[in-house]
Structure 1
């Protein structure tokens, strides 16, 4: 089975899952093995980093943080830095996450993702978020169509370490899921995949 077939099979299953803000263990050990077996042989010099980023992103969907980290720390690209930052956010190392997110900078899909995130938050009843500090962070994110992974990380840190608000948990997990899906789709296309995965 070709890379594309393997990838689409895995991505359809894994990218439907909204990873936890603080994973305790991987979702599926067999999927972890399947992702590891995706060969990046035969990719051109420009496409190979994106193919490796695809694997790293799939590991994040599977909540296998160590496997994702092994790949992302070897990717000296904006996409690799973003994956590295998201991984550290998911493991709860927020200062390290912020470092890598700053290093990633602005990516080509930032405007599109910012608009989607803003639209999602505008549909939510932010008044149901019990923590005033967390509600304020979400309201600020809803006020502008800007993808800011640093602000998302601050909100996740507030939720995980202090607020533990049920309503905010749902929203933040969904925002992280949107972020990962956009990144996965972008890297898939840049690796040579045709069309978008989640159109």
Structure 2
């Protein structure tokens, strides 16, 4: 893997100033999409780990269609299923997202994502920003030992339905960003080690 090329892509994604939208309307950086696509020419680009990494990089760039194409290539892989589910959540197809999360099973990244989310949520005043079902879901996310992507999907669906206050949107965006970053780190490590 050309680490310099991948490091540059990661740096650009990490430099993003605003949190990605829950339902992005378009690609964040089209030039970056081209750089990610250029990873196809690297040795080992056809491995499941590299395909999953490319699905993740495109999704972190809000390039849902390209991410979808890659995740569809590895539907028999837990990481591919997880990226597939995230893509469907970000397009607003919540039941399809939950189907793919179910297929991903107990993914190894769920523990790390869950701990990071719980730690971040422990610093939040949830009761001051959320009420009712949304507050319950956020509190449950804060107690999880392992991340439950379907629970965040339900919270995003509630937010997008208009039945939750706008104060919770940024919380959900931050949780989704933590989830994307956790799965991207897992995918990068898997691609670098060549294990799958």
Q: Same fold (TM over 0.5)?
A: yes
Q: Deviations over 1:19-73 (max 9, x none)?
A: 210111111111111111113542288xx21111111111111101000000001
DSSP 3-state at the match of 1:162? coil
How far does residue 130 in structure 1 lie from its aligned partner after superposition?
A: 4.0
* Structure 2 contact 2–42 (Cα < 8 Å) conserved: no
TM-score (norm 1): 0.89
Alignment of 1:55 with 2:57, yes or no, is no
Distance 1:71 1:44, change over 3 A: closer
Q: Distance in 1 between matches of 2:66 and 2:6?
A: 17
How does 1:25-174 map onto structure 2 within 5 Å? 25-39=26-40, 41-43=42-44, 48-75=47-74, 76-174=76-174
Q: For structure 1, list consecutive stretches of 5 or more residues without a partner in the other structure.
A: 195-199
* Structure 1 contact 15–181 (Cα < 8 Å) conserved: no
Q: Distance in 2 between matches of 1:109 and 1:25?
A: 27
Cα RMSD between the aligned structures? 1.9
- Aligned pair count? 191
Alignment of 1:23 with 2:24, yes or no, is yes
* Structure 1 contact 40–51 (Cα < 8 Å) conserved: no
Q: For structure 2, list consecutive stretches of 5 or more residues without a partner in the other structure.
A: none
